[in-house]
Amino acid sequence: MKFSEGMAAVEAVLFAVGEPIELDKLAQACELEEEVAVRVIERLNDRYREQNSAFEIAKLGSCYQMMTKAEYARYIKSAVETRKQAPLSQAALEVLAIVAYNQPVTRGFIDQVRGVDSSGVVKSLTERDLLEEHGRMNDIPGKPIAYRTTENFLRCFGLNSLDGLPPIPGSTDQLSLDDYENSEF
């Protein structure tokens, strides 16, 4: 393989993966020796600098990732803000709460708690990377798929872990109607 072909392969893989990739996996995917892959990355970074490109390939531990340079963050932020995703519906928030507090759970469990079919909501939340499949429930007939929340769910809701979820209010934590009427709300 020509060096230029190796450069194109490395650039294509880094662009397509979009997240850090271990050097050995990158080299293997591009059919290169690891030392050659490192030289290719160095040459790509040289080219990006020469062309005053917005891109660079950063080394993150033993991984490499193609990314935009920090000075272009404001442009990216502006573009992303103009296409904000629609806010989550009440149904989506209900499903997220059910899964977050009871995971892993099946769609049947979610349907039972909500009292309605939740397949569309679960699919939407999975596509938005807020829920993910977590194997099958082998102890339940039919071995249904189990769902759990994702790292993206934690990030979106500003949580470090599920331990950061507020406690579920018990009956003693609920205001009675009399308490509500006598309060200054």
pLDDT digit string, tens, across residues 9-55? 999 999 999 889 999 999 999 999 999 999 999 999 999 999 999 99
Determine if the pTM surpasses 0.85.
no
CATH 1.10.10.10 positions along the chain are 3-72, 90-166
Backbone angles phi and psi of 144, in degrees to 5: -70, 160
Q: What is the mean pLDDT of residues 159-182?
A: 69
Range 113-120 contact pairs with CB under 8 angstroms and sequence separation of 24 or more: 118/91
The sheet that has 145-149: what strands, in order across it? 105-106, 145-149, 131-136
Q: What is the mean pLDDT of residues 139-160?
A: 88
Q: What is the DSSP string of 91-153?
A: HHHHHHHHHHHH-SEEHHHHHHHHTS--HHHHHHHHHTTSEEEEEE-TTSTT-PEEEEE-HHH
Domain 3-72 class? mainly alpha
Domain 90-166, second-level architecture: Orthogonal Bundle (1.10)
